Amino acid sequence: MTENDISFKIRGAIFRVYKNLGPGLLESVYEAALAYELDKDGLDVKTQVALPVLYDDMLLDLGFRIDILVNDTVIVEIKSIEGLQNVHHKQVLTYLKLSDRKLGILVNFNTDDINRNIVRKIYGSIA
């Protein structure tokens, strides 16, 4: 399954979670619900995956966490905030770089228009 196939399934799961829960809840609620939906779709789902930082040949275990990692390939970063800022987009790109992955999805559930709050982020190129 390609990153694009996985991304399509993630997007569908996001819509189902949003339709069922709506806006205004904690990120942890959306994370659990989305992980459940993705698992139901037959995807391999890991939550709160440790993301160490390699700096100048030194491994820094600083407690960074990937919200959801799907099929060991696609990172999903969940927000439940008033609005996405540039730093949130950069955070996903940094997570992709540090984890040597190509595709991330940034989603903000605290919105009245979920379509405009699901953003694909690409680091490098996708085959």
* pTM, 2 dp: 0.93
Going 7 to 116 to 69 to 54, the CA torsion angle's sign is: positive
pLDDT band at 124 (very low <50, low <70, confident <90, very high): confident
Distance of CA 111 to the CA centre of its chain: 17
**Domain locations along the chain:** 3-122
Closest CA to 30 of 122, 117, 123: 117
Span 28-80, pLDDT tens digits: 999 999 999 999 999 999 999 999 898 899 988 787 999 999 999 999 999 99
Going 102 to 9 to 46 to 65, the CA torsion angle's sign is: positive
Span 62-74, pLDDT tens digits: 879 999 999 999 9
Domain covering 3-122, topology = Lambda Exonuclease; Chain A (3.90.320)
